[in-house]
Amino acid sequence: MHIGAHVSIAGGLPNAVQRGVDLECDAIQIFNQSSRAWRPQNHADRQVAEFREGIEGSRIEAVLIHAVYLINTASLEHEVRQKSLTALKGALELGDRIGAAGVVLHPGSQKQEDYESCMKAAGDGIREALAETDSCPLLLEDTAGAGGTLGRDLSELARLVELGGASERIGLCLDCCHLLASGFEVRERECLAEIVDELELKIGLDRLRALHINDSAMPLGSNRDRHASLGDGELGESGLRVFMSEPRFDGLPAVLETPGPGRSGPDVAEIRKAKRLRTEGTRNRRRAKKKRAGS
């Protein structure tokens, strides 16, 4: 598992690499532009080249782009839809330029509109964005379920994959905070295994490309998306050990989006904690397996 954090691109793309290195990240995630504004940010070829060179010379194994929060591919409003698709295509284009492992997308929200119409609109938007870009994967992120958001469970994510054309470029990014808030019990090994079994059956494990590692400030089934620092929320260290040590998550980029000290994001101590929890969880699994084999 390549554990890391969301880092800022303030001052230029190459600065994100150094921030990731300073945090001892093995993966990083960035916004390609301001996360809450439509205005695109242009990245000069020189900046892209320096970014790629920096990644190649660092410990960082994977880069993710998080699409801006304003994007709503499910919107039936013409202006919002056009701005959303322009922003999404921009993120995918930068993903190709920097060699990103994928662009993470919140699929959208139906708000007060008809559910089926919005699902179809989201699928059409995904198809269009992929058709007009080259090769960067698009990773649909599960949501906590508030405010009519789409992607609240595995069945809904499976439909979005299908409506989006079932392209090989469509993948998933699972967020453990969102899963818990949406009613999935990810803190217990057997329950988590059943969830991953369902994912394999309905969507396919080959589509699982990334993880977001966040504790949850809200309880199971709350449908509220409130991230907490690792060990300070409802998952706690024990739940995070279980989630991070699921064997079928091996090899994935796993990015923290936690508040961190001063709400400025995770620090190096929290990255180290994540790596420790992963190691401890894996050790616990091996011990449990050995004990079952001997009984």
Would you say domain 2-294 falls under CATH 3.20.20.150?
yes
Q: Per residue in 212-254, pLDDT tens? A: 999 999 999 999 999 999 999 999 999 999 999 999 999 999 9
Report field, pTM of the whole predicted structure over 0.85: yes
Euclidean distance between CA atoms 295 and 292, whole angstroms:
5
- Does 295 score more than 70 pLDDT? no
Euclidean distance between CA atoms 34 and 224, whole angstroms:
23
Say whether 104 sits in a helix, a strand or coil.
strand
Amino acid at site 190: E
DSSP code per residue over 211-274 = EEE-EESS-TT-----EE-TTSSSSHHHHHHHHHT-GGGTT-EEEE----GGGS---HHHHHHH
Give the pLDDT band of residue 36 (cuts 50, 70, 90).
Answer: confident
Query: What letter would DSSP give residue 203?
Result: T
Q: Per residue in 37-63, pLDDT tens? A: 999 999 999 999 999 999 999 999 999
CA dist list (Å): 79 to 72, 76, 110: 11, 9, 15
